[in-house]
A and B are shown apart, each in its own frame.
Chain A
Amino acid sequence: MSGARLGAGVLGLLGLAWAASALSTYDVVADVHPALASRGPSLSHLLGTDHLGRDVLCRLWLGVRAFVGPGLIAGAVAGGLSALLGGLGALRPGALRAAVRALLTVVASVPRFALVLLIASIFGDEPAILAAAAGLAYLPALVEDIFARVAELEGADFVEAARAHGVPAFRVVAVHLLWVGCRHLILRHLLQLFAFVVVLEASLSFIGGFGVEEPTPSWGNMIAFELSAREGNLWAWLAPALCIQLAVVGTLLAAEGVRDGG
């Protein structure tokens, strides 16, 4: 199976899980059964139970909510802002593009995790804010690529043709340069951003303090919770760990598979 297909499959699975989880009636607080603690896999609990007797598979499935929403928000922020900045840079190259570049260089010189944490500590640690911060942190690389591609396309035949036909500059930029020319590379970056958000969310929930807190399930805090005790169901932490790895690898493979068509 080709890497891109595997990646697309993983993304599809994540999407399904996320959509289905909206229908769940799982009560995170009430589902505690000490008597069933740390059982191994069985017919009623396919991956066993964790320390508090909660079904691992169920929490795994619900844990998807922790990063898919933020991932989409981050993508929207990064995609929207990059299109805006890229378009501005294309319309008015020269001083404006240089100014945008300078700003982006500054943003790029602060490590992404640090920027996200800083924004979270100042503006609050809601998932939406973390997501927006992640999108912002990803902006420099994306916009630089857009600028480079737009510069390449300036002399392309179809752009010249559009201009010769009198298509207004704004439309040329939006449709011809950004949409036709850049949409694949934007998608690729957004997928990489999604993988980053998965890792970000898992890391923050694992370490604690920012990110999803118990008892709401997140793959990161599931691992932290189970690792802190010595004996227990192996799958209670191995399953989320494998899921994180699979989600990241799948998303990156899908990103690799976004080839520039035409």
Chain B
Amino acid sequence: MAATVAGATVLLHGLFWLAPGDPIDLLPNGPELRPVLEAEWGLDQPVGVRILRTLGAVAQGDLGYSLIVKPGADVANLAAKAWGKTLTLALPALALCVGLALLLAWRQDRPRLARLVMVSSATPGFLLAAALITLLNEGAFAGMEAGHWDRPGWFALPDQPSALRTALAIGVLGLSGGLLSEARTEAAGLLESLRGSAFIEAIAARGGSTLGPLLHNLLPPLLGLLSGRLVLVLGGALIVEKVLFIQGAGTLFWEAAMNRDHPLAIGLGIAAAALVASGQALCSLGRAALDPRLRRSGP
């Protein structure tokens, strides 16, 4: 995991340093900040040295300071809070996606269902989110005009947190962007190979129940499934948060990108890589704890 974070740091900062032109000129308020930034970023030193310095800083948890979005604010702090908020959407969405995929895959292979899931889950996240929020708004307006209600509690303004929008975000994240379809296909493959395996047959032939052993043996590959989907869900959050007006890492990233606040954007990217890497590490640990075959070193 440390290697991935280090790698991400090098990659993202590298992209930044290697961009043509003076990086300070790229910033909207560059000329004013030039003296400060030159000193802090050590622009007089070669790129290699700069990257090493940055690695050292990141290792200590220092991701720099935001320049435009929240001038002077510590990026590491902002990133932690923002991704924390996004995780409260992403993790339930992940669970929803994989859980539903498993349910859909449980019955023997049904090509029509697979086709239907594929077509519906291919809807881009922004489209589904926009459609839902428009429906809600129309419904709220219609209700208000017809005099049914003044302003219903769930029709919150964009800058206020809303449980309904959060729930919508989780639903859209888990069910759009092709995630559900891919997860269902993988789950179906897993189930098929497990159901056909010799030991499940042996248990059935002894008159025992195969449900428990089946579910137990599903857990390690399921963890693998979760770990693989994490980065996709985090990416989806980038779009869904913006469309549904939720203040998380997604919206913050957009602001950073639009305003060319590079330290903030890069910091958020590094934090994302750290999240993905730790998620993968956790899942690997879980799989090894469950599956003795993974604990053996050697064939």
Q: In the complex, what's the smallest C-beta–C-beta distance from A123 to chain B, in angstroms?
A: 6
Q: Are B7 and A103 in contact (CB under 8 A)?
A: yes
Indicate if A74 sits at the interface (CB-CB under 8 A).
no
Candidates A105, A111, A114; contact of B4 at CB < 8 Å = A105
In this complex, the interface size class of chain B, counting residues with CB under 8 Å from chain A, is: 35 or more
Task: Assess whether A14 is interfacial by the CB under 8 Å rule.
Answer: no
**B257 pairs with A121, CB closer than 8 A:** yes
* A interface majority secondary structure: helix
Any chain A CB within 8 A of the CB of B3? yes
Q: List 16 interface pairs A-B (beta carbons < 8 Å), by A numbering.
A: A102-B3, A110-B12, A111-B232, A112-B231, A118-B15, A118-B265, A121-B260, A203-B124, A207-B243, A207-B254, A209-B258, A223-B127, A224-B130, A241-B131, A252-B118, A252-B178
> A112-B235, A114-B253 given as contacts; is B273 within 8 A of A106 (CB)?
yes
Nearest chain A residue, comparing its CB with the CB of B279: A109
Size of the A side of the interface (Cβ < 8 Å), in residues, is: 41
Q: Shortest Cβ distance from A230 into chain B, in angstroms? A: 7
Report how far A206 CA is from B240 CA in the complex, Å.
Answer: 12
**Residues in A76-108 with C-beta less than 8 Å from chain B:** 102-103, 105-108
A residues with CB within 8 A of B? 3, 102-103, 105-115, 117-123, 195, 199, 202-203, 206-207, 209-210, 220, 223-224, 227, 230, 241, 244-245, 248-249, 252-253
Q: Report how many A-B pairs have Cβ atoms within 8 Å.
A: 128
A105-B4, A110-B269, A203-B239 as given contacts; A244 in contact with B234, CB under 8 Å: no
Q: Which residue of A lies closest to B181 (CB)?
A: A252
In the complex, the answer to whether A223 meets B119 with C-beta atoms within 8 Å is no
Q: Are B238 and A114 in contact (CB under 8 A)?
A: yes
Q: Which residue of A lies closest to B265 (CB)?
A: A118
Is B239 within 8 A of A117, CB to CB?
no
A102 to B26, CA, bound (A): 30
A121 touches B262 (CB 8 A): yes
